[in-house]
Structure 1
Amino acid sequence: MFGHCVSLVEHMDLLALADFNLVARHGGFGRAARAATRPKATLSRRVADLEAGLGVRLFERGGRDLKLTEEGRALHERTGRLLSELNETAAAIAAGGDALRGRLRISAPSLFSQIAMGRLAAGFALEYPEVRLEVTTDDRNVDMIEEGYDLVIRVNPRPDESLIGRAFLRDRLVVAAAPALIRPIDGSAVRAVVRGSPDLSGDWNVITTSGRSTIAINPVLSLSSMVMVRDAVRQGIGAGRLPLSLVSHDLAAGRLVAWADVDEPDTNLWALYPSARLLSGRVSAFLTYLKKAFPTGSPNELAAFID
Structure 2
Amino acid sequence: MDLLALADFNLVARHGGFGKAARASGRPKATLSRRVTELEAALELRLFERGARSLKLTEEGRALYERTAALLTELDETATAIASGAEKPRGRLRISAPLLLSQTAMGKIAARFALKYPEVRLEITTEDRAVDMIEEGYDLVIRVNPDPDEALVGRAFLRDRLVVVASPDLARPAPGHLAPGVVRGTSAQQTWTVMSSKGPAKIKIQPVLALSSLIMVRDAVRAGVGVARLPISLVSHDLAEGTLLHWGDIEGSEIALWALYPSRRLLSARVSAFLEFLKQAFPNGTPDELAAYIGR
TM-score grouping bracket, smaller chain normalisation: over 0.9
Runs of 4+ in structure 1 off by over 6 angstroms are: none
Residues 175 and 203 in structure 2, CA contact (< 8 A), matched pair in contact too: no
Partner of 1:3: none
Q: Which runs of 5+ in 2 are unaligned?
A: none
Partner of 1:52: 41
Indicate the SS of the match to 1:103: strand
Q: Which runs of 5+ in 1 are unaligned?
A: 1-8
Which of 206, 213, 222 is matched with 2:194 structurally? 206
Residues 185 and 211 in structure 2, CA contact (< 8 A), matched pair in contact too: yes
1:155-203 per-position Cα deviation (integer Å, ceiling 9, x unaligned): 111111111111111111000111111111243111111111202x521
Partner of 2:244: 256
Residues 164 and 246 in structure 2, CA contact (< 8 A), matched pair in contact too: yes
Structure 2 distance, partners of 1:82, 1:113, is 28
Which of 10, 17, 26 is matched with 2:6 structurally? 17
Indicate the SS of the match to 2:293: coil
Q: Percent identity?
A: 68
Structure 1 distance, partners of 2:230, 2:54, is 47
Q: TM-score, normalised by structure 2?
A: 0.93
Indicate the SS of the match to 2:208: strand
Q: Is 2:293 the partner of 1:305? A: yes
Residues 88 and 269 in structure 2, CA contact (< 8 A), matched pair in contact too: no
State which drifts further: 173-182 or 39-48. 39-48
Note the C-alpha offset of 1:126.
1.3
Structure 2 distance, partners of 1:294, 1:22, is 40
Indicate the SS of the match to 1:71: helix
For 2:8, the aligned partner's letter is: D
Report the CA distance shift for 1:151/1:64 in structure 2 as closer, same or farther (over 3 A): farther
Partner of 1:267: 255
Structure 1 distance, partners of 2:37, 2:256, is 47
Which of 164, 169, 181 is matched with 2:158 structurally? 169
Alignment map for 1:280-299 (pairs within 5 Å) = 280-299=268-287
State which drifts further: 74-83 or 59-68. 59-68
Q: Is 2:190 the partner of 1:227? A: no
Aligned length: 295
Indicate the SS of the match to 2:294: coil
Q: TM-score, normalised by structure 1?
A: 0.90
Partner of 1:140: 129
Partner of 1:180: 169
Partner of 1:90: 79
Report the CA distance shift for 1:294/1:77 in structure 2 as closer, same or farther (over 3 A): same
Structure 2 distance, partners of 1:171, 1:66, is 49
State which drifts further: 239-248 or 177-186. 177-186
Report the CA distance shift for 1:64/1:244 in structure 2 as closer, same or farther (over 3 A): farther
State which drifts further: 94-103 or 291-300. 94-103
Residues 183 and 207 in structure 2, CA contact (< 8 A), matched pair in contact too: yes
Indicate the SS of the match to 2:193: strand
1:101-139 per-position Cα deviation (integer Å, ceiling 9, x unaligned): 111110011111111111111111111111111111111
Note the C-alpha offset of 1:272.
0.7
Residues 234 and 291 in structure 2, CA contact (< 8 A), matched pair in contact too: yes
Report the CA distance shift for 1:98/1:160 in structure 2 as closer, same or farther (over 3 A): closer
Indicate the SS of the match to 1:184: coil
For 1:224, the aligned partner's letter is: S
Structure 2 distance, partners of 1:98, 1:273, is 19
Residues 163 and 230 in structure 2, CA contact (< 8 A), matched pair in contact too: yes
Note the C-alpha offset of 1:281.
1.5
State which drifts further: 118-127 or 41-50. 41-50
Q: Is 2:230 the partner of 1:237? A: no
CA RMSD of aligned residues (A): 1.8
Partner of 2:64: 75
Q: Is 2:90 the partner of 1:101? A: yes
For 1:55, the aligned partner's letter is: E
